[in-house]
Chain A
Amino acid sequence: MRFPLFPDQASTLAPKVDELYFGLTLLSAIMMAIIFLPMLYFLYKYRRGNKVDRSPLRIPLWKIEVTWTVIPLLIVFGFYTWAADIFFDQERPPAEAMDITVIGKQWMWKIQHPEGNREINELHVPTGRAVRLIMTSQDVIHSFFLPAFRVKQDVLPGRYVTEWFQPTKVGTYHLFCAEYCGTSHSGMVGHVIVMEPADYEEWLRVGKPAETMAQSGERLFRELGCSGCHMGNSQIRAPRLEGLFGKPVPLADGQIVMADEKYIRDSILLPQSQIAAGYAPVMPTFAGHISEEELLQLLLYIKSLGLKQPEETR
C-alpha cells in the first residue's frame, strides 16, 4: 500500500490551489501551537499541588479580548481575499477556450467534442489549451470532479453549467461524480486523458465521425423545421440567428439579455418566456421533442452562426 499525500498537479489551477492549501495548513499549525503550547504549559505548571504563584493577573480584560478578536479577523480577511481571487478567475473561462459538451445521467458521463467525437466516462484533452465544459444532466444532480485539476462543478438538470481548466501534464487522471446520485453513484467514474496537442489532433482524426456537432445541429435545424422561420425568405417573421450568439438581445418587455447558452436553451424549450423585441410570440416549444444531446448540437450550430454576419446588414 502507498501513502500518497497529494493528487497530481495537472492543470494551471492546481499549483495555485495547493499554495493556498499549504498556506491554510501553516496557519492551522501556527494557531494550534498558539493555543496548545500555552495550554499544555498551564496544565503542567498549574496542576493542583504544584507550588506556584496563583494570584490573579492585573491586565485589563478588554485589551486581551480585543487582541485575540482583531488579529484573527485580519488574518482571515487576508485568506478570504487570496481564496476569492483564485475562485473568481476560476469562474471566468478565457474567451479562446475550446468547448466540450458533457451530459451526466444515472450513472455515466456522455461527452461529445465539437468535432463530433463521442466518448463515455472518458475525456480526452490536449495540454496547453483552456478547455471549457458545457454540462447538463438528464436526470438528477451530478458533479464533475477532476481532482488532478482541482475543479469540481455540480451538473444540474434543466440548465447549463460550465467548468474550465487548462491541462499542463500528460497523463491519465481520475474523473469522479462527486454529488450523490443514486445506487451506482460510486460507479459513475472515469478518466480524463491529457495528451500532447499533436496526439490529441491524431486522436480526433482517427475517431472522426461523419458530422461535427455543428453539422448535426444544422441537420436538426432543418429536420425540426427551425430553418423554415429562422432562415431564408420566410413568411413568418422570426429573428435571424446569424451573428446572434454572445450579443445582447432586446426583449419585447424592454429588458436586454445576453444571447448565451442559457438564452438559447430557454428560447428552444420555453420560447414564451423571453420574446425578442419586434416579434410575435408564435414559436412552439420543443420541450419533450428534443434530447439534451440534440439540444447541445443545436446550440453549437447556433453558436457557429454567431461568427457569421446576418445577410441584411452585409
Chain B
Amino acid sequence: MNETEAVPVPAPAEVEENYLSAGHTVRSWLLTTDHKRIGLLYLFSIIFFFAIAAVAAAIMRLELLTPPGDLVLSATYNKLFTLHGVIMVWFFLIPSIPNVLGNFLIPMMIGARDVAFPKLNLLSWYLFMAGGLLALHAIIVGGVDTGWTFYTPYSSRYSNTHTVEMALGIFLSGFASILTGLNFIITVHEMRAPGLTWFRLPLFIWSHYATSLILVLATPVLAITLLLMMLERIWGLGIFDPRLGGDPVLFQHLFWFYSHPAVYIMILPSMAVVSELIPCFSRKRIFGYKFIAFASMAIAVLGFVVWGHHMFVSGQSVYAGMIFSILSFIVAIPSGIKVFNWTATLHRGSISFETPMLYALGFIGLFSLGGLTGLFLAALAVDVHVTDTYFVVAHFHYIMVGGTVLAFMGGIHFWWPKITGRMYPEKLGQLAALVTFIGFNLTFFPQFVMGYLGMPRRYHAYAPEFQIYHVLSTAGATILGVGYLLPVIYLLWSLRHGKKAGANPWGATGLEWQTPSPPPVHNFAEVPRVTGEPYDYSPQEEEKKAEDDHA
C-alpha cells in the first residue's frame, strides 16, 4: 500500500455524503461536473450503444448460418455491418475504458479532487451524446451502407444512404475524444498529489497518458478526412473521386492515419487495466515497471507510422508497402514486452483467482493470439492473401473484444465496489468470465481458418464450403451473448443486495482505495501525500495473513 502521511479521516461512510448521495435529481446528474458522475454517464451511454451494435451483430450471425442470403436483404445486411462497426468503434470501444474508468479513476489515482477542466469534461459527454444520437438518427431514418471505413468514391458518390449524417455524428464525437484527451494530459501534468512523481504513478496513468496523446493528435485527422468526404458528397469538391480529379487512395491514407492509432486508443487503456489487476491479485510488485511505462509510450509513437499496412493491396507503391511492413513488425515488440512482464509478475506471487483476475488472464491469452496473428498481417505476402477476409475480422476482434472488452469487464468488476460501494457475487462473476472466454474463442477462432480459406468479409451470401465455420461462429456468439448478459443482471442485483464493500476490499495499493466506497464528492478528505513506489505488494505477508486467517 502506498505509504501516506495524511490518511483520510476515517469518518463513517453513512454520515459523510458520497458522490452518489450528493444529489438525486436528474438535474444533479445532467449538470454535474464531478468526474465520477461523468464517468457513470459515459457508462450508461456506452452500454446503450453496445446493446444496439450487439443486436446488429446477432442478426448478422443468424443470417450467416446458411450460405444464401435468406434472412435479410443484402442492402440490410450492409447497413447492419456498418452500424455494428461505427457504433462499436466510436461509441463503445474508443470511449469504453478511458471515458468510464479513466474519468472515474484518474483524478483519484493521482490524489486530485477532479480533472483539470471539469466543465470541459461534461461538454465532452454532451458532444459524445450529440454525435451518438445523430448517428442513431441516421440509422433510424434508413441507415448507412458504406462500412465503418467510408471508403471513397463509394461513400462520396455512389452510396444512396445517409452517409453525411453518420459522418457528422462521428465528427462530433471526435471532439469529445479530443476534449477528454486534453483533460487527461493536463490533469496528469498539473494535479498529481505531493510526492507522486512520474515513476510513482500507477501504470494505469501512464497508459492513459499515452492514449490521450493519440486522442489529441490523431482525432483531428479523422475530423478533416470526414469533412473532406462530406464536402465532396455535398458540393462535388474533387478530393477523392477520380471523376472529379481526386484520388481514392488518398482517403485511405488519411483514414488509416487516424484509424490505426485508434486501435491503440482501444488497446492501451485495456493494458492500463491489466497492469493494475495482475499485481493486485498476485500480490506482487509489477515486473519491469519502467519497461511497461515506456512500452506504452513506444506504442503510442510507433502507432502513428504503421497505417500503410491496411493498404498493401490498395495500389500504394511496393516500396511503401515494404516500409510499412517492417514498421508493423516492430510495433509488435512493445506489446510483447508487456505480455512478458505481466507473466513474470506472476512468478513467486501469491495468486488468487477472483473475477477481475480471470478477465485479466483471459485478456493476456486473447491479446497474445490477436497480436501474433497481427504478425501474419504485417507479413506482406500472407497479407495479400488474407486482407479483406475473415482472417482480418478474427484478428481485430481478438484485439478489440478479446482485448478491450475483457479488460473493460475486468476493470468494471475490480472497481465496482469502489464505484457503487457494493460487492458483486463472486461465483457468478467467475462463471461469466469463463462463459465469455469460451464463447469468444468459439466465435472468432473459426474465422481465422475460414479467412485463410478465402472467405471475404462483408459478404451477405457465401460459398457452401465456408458454412461449417459460420455455424461454429454463430454458436459461439450465442454463448458470448450469455457471457455479456450475466454481468448486466448480477451487477444490477448487487446495487441493492450486494455485500457492503468497504474502502479497500481487494487489499489493493493505489490512492483510490484509501478513500471510502463510494468516494466522497471531493474524493479525499485531505490531500494525500505519497512517499513510496506503486504496487507495494508483498506475497510473503499475504501468505502469512492467509495462514493466520486459517489458524
Measuring CB to CB, which residues of chain A are less than 8 angstroms from any residue of chain B?
1-7, 16-17, 20-21, 24, 27-28, 31-32, 35-36, 38-39, 42-43, 46-49, 52-57, 61, 64-65, 68-69, 72-73, 76-77, 79-80, 82-84, 86-88, 90-91, 106, 139-141, 143, 145, 147-148, 150-154, 156-159, 161, 174, 176-187, 189
Contact = CB atoms under 8 A, between A and B. Distances in A.
A90 B322 CA distance: 13
Interface stretch (B200-208, B342-350, B405-413): B342-350
B458 A79 contact: no
Contacts of B318: 87-88, 91
Contacts of A38: 343, 347
Contact of B462 (A20, A36, A91, A186): A186
B365 A36 contact: yes
Contacts of B375: 24, 27-28, 76, 79
A43 B385 contact: no
Contacts of B332: 72, 76
A140 B283 CA distance: 56
Nearest to A43: B351
Interface string B327-354: 0011011001101110110111111110
Nearest to B465: A4
Interface stretch (B6-14, B121-129, B536-544): B536-544
B365 A20 contact: no
A20 B456 contact: no
Contacts of B282: 46
B314 interface: yes
B349 A179 contact: no
Interface in B496-530: none
B382 A83 contact: yes
Contacts of A57: 347-348
A141 B242 CA distance: 11
Interface residues of B, number: 91
Given A69-B337, A176-B454, A54 B350 contact: yes
A180 B380 CA distance: 21
Interface string B40-62: 00000000000000000000000
Contact of B329 (A3, A47, A49, A76): A76
Given A24-B375, A28-B375, A141 B151 contact: yes
A80 to B, nearest CB: 5
10 contacts: A2-B468, A28-B369, A48-B352, A87-B312, A140-B154, A141-B151, A145-B388, A152-B387, A180-B457, A181-B154
Contacts of A16: 381
A54 to B, nearest CB: 4
3 nearest A-B residue pairs (beta carbon): A158-B242, A147-B454, A87-B380
B313 A143 contact: yes
Given A1-B467, A186-B461, 9 more contacts: A17-B384, A28-B375, A55-B540, A65-B291, A77-B329, A83-B382, A84-B325, A158-B243, A183-B78
A182 B159 contact: yes
Contacts of A174: 454, 463
B372 interface: yes
A68 B248 contact: no
A154 B147 contact: no
Interface string B355-385: 0000001001100110011011011111111
Contacts of A90: 381, 384
B145 interface: yes
Contact of A147 (B69, B145, B330, B453): B453
Given A17-B385, A53-B348, A54-B349, A182 B158 contact: yes
B315 A161 contact: yes
B546 interface: yes
A148 to B, nearest CB: 8
B438 interface: no
A68 B336 contact: yes
B368 to A, nearest CB: 6
Contacts of A187: 74, 461
Nearest to B352: A48
A132 B542 CA distance: 68
Contacts of B453: 4-7, 147
B296 interface: no
Interface in B447-482: 449, 452-454, 456-463, 465, 467-468, 471
Nearest to A73: B333
A147 to B, nearest CB: 3
A43 B452 CA distance: 34
Contacts of B39: none
A279 to B, nearest CB: 24
B458 A141 contact: no
Contacts of B145: 182-183
Interface string B151-165: 101100011000000
Residue picked from A73, A91, A179, most chain B C-beta under 10 Å: A179
Contacts of A76: 329-330, 332-333, 375, 378
